[in-house]
Amino acid sequence: MSEASAPGANGVTFLPYLCGERAPLWNRSLRGIYFGLGTDTTKADMVRAVMEGSAYALRSILDEFNDPSLHQKVVLGTGGGYKSRIWSQIKSDVLNCSILVRQTTFDAALTGNALLVMRALGYPDCRTDDNTAAEPALYVPDPAKREFYEERYHFFREIYQANKDLFATKGV
């Protein structure tokens, strides 16, 4: 569905703070905002705005690392959100780095947690070997979208700045 909406979601921006936000804002009173809705806004625009908003929120975390040497050229993506080709490409474009997605038949986060617990309990090295995993997909940022997404990211931050105090006083 989101493919039917162009980059920028027809002017719709979504702040994805449905349950507050941890890093880097550390503000549990924040809530989600759709900004820029109009009579011509489509479901596809709203879906794409959610995808772009979550990518902007991810970028705001990475921006907290002031040391440019810590900025990644490639990010490893796992989990449900990375099953979407368009969402993975949006993240690559917004972060301006490549995204390597290895689709697995198991939940990487749960498996990692289980392996940590097993190690803490003294079990021998238990590596997983998922031979059914598909070849990894590599998403490379589109240079033609770099400036556009840079401007949209700063607009996303402006919307947050303009509304953050309202949540503290009038929020949930």
Q: Look at residue 76 and give its three-state secondary structure.
A: strand
pTM: 0.82
Q: So what's the pLDDT on residue 70? A: 64
Domains of the chain: 2-170 (3.30.420.40)
What pLDDT score does 128 carry? 54
For residue 158, what is the enclosing H or E element?
helix 146-170
Q: What is the per-residue pLDDT for 148?
A: 98
CB atoms under 10 Å from CB of 118, counted, come to 13
pLDDT digits (tens, 9 = 90+) for 20-39: 888 888 888 899 999 999 99
Cβ contact 172:29 at 8 Å: yes
Tell me which residues of the chain have a pLDDT lower than 70: 1-2, 66-67, 69-72, 104-109, 125-134, 171-172
